[in-house]
Amino acid sequence: MNEAPPNPLEEERRKWAEYSTLLDAVERSKSTDVERLPGLFRGVCQDLALAQYRMQGMRAVEALNQLVIRGYKHLYRPRTVGASGIVSFLTVGFPNRVRREWRLFWFCSLIFWLPFFGMMAAVQSDVAWAQAILGDAGMLGLEEMYGGDTTRQTEHLRREYGSNFMMFGFYIKNNVGIDFRIFGGGILAGVGTMFFLIYNGLAIGASAGYVQVAGNPTSFWSFVAGHSSFELLGMVVAGMAGMRLGLGVLKPGRLPRGKALALAAKEALPLICGAAVMTVLAAFVEGFWSAQPVPVNLKYAVGGVFWIACMGYFLFMGRGRYAA
């Protein structure tokens, strides 16, 4: 027995109902599935034009016209970045984007943390690894910074930078520079991004391992505890942005490579902006907290709270919501 052919009118009504339901959810900021909205909007516009051409009745035309107006107001309204836009980005847009790119998150985490822990273990086994990575000047700098107790560390920082604000400025310049090198390396089909992630993993791991052998580990770990979550996770997120750029070069699909790269850069923008915010936070904590003569256990506690807060932020913040 042959099945009845699909009813075109029923199919159109189902499409209109889906479009209206999605608009309702978007207007209530309860939908993140907005990628389907432009396609549905174009379909409803075509249906409206066809209904007007065929003079199918005022009620049908008016209903379609209202759907088109609602969609137009959402898709083409002016985009202003005010305080509410920044808050929406930080509480919804950024964490949602990181979760959406979870494969890149784990990939970048692996190519940073594996060299970090591998080099840290290698230096503690043979200190020659530290010399190969850091050089004599780098090893001497670590001994001056972390060779004694926290009082000596504070004195060293005061001689080096003069004030907390100067430290903050230096760390902003240094850390943001690292993140943007990681991101910019993505233009080389992602190879540059991987290189800088591996390089930083090796360098930081060598530093941690050398302090364990030749310095005061408590001085080192208590100093980095407070800002490490923001700085290191920010580095990984910058890597995600760089790899998204690299994938635009490697896998343009049916698009011209230049257009695919422009689209990849647009997708990477929330990631690199979020990474920059995390790095600024890291610099603020490093300049105004990490270097202060605070009890070691308190520094460890604050550092632990920051790590838990960062993980909770990326796992749960903004779920089921749409950034306006």
**Residue range 270-286, pLDDT digits in tens:** 999 999 999 999 999 98
* Range with the poorest average pLDDT among 33-42, 96-105, 278-287: 33-42
Distance CA 198, CA 261 (A): 24
Distance CA 116, CA 18 (A): 49
Q: Which residue has the higher pLDDT, 90 or 50?
A: 90
Calculate what percentage of the chain has a pLDDT beyond 70. 86
pTM over 0.85: no
Distance CA 244, CA 263 (A): 10
Q: Which two tokens stand for residue 317?
A: 């913040």
Distance CA 253, CA 76 (A): 27
**Residue range 83-99, pLDDT digits in tens:** 778 888 999 999 999 99
110, 183, 202, 252, 267 from 187: Cα distances, Å: 20, 8, 22, 13, 14
- pLDDT at site 4: 47
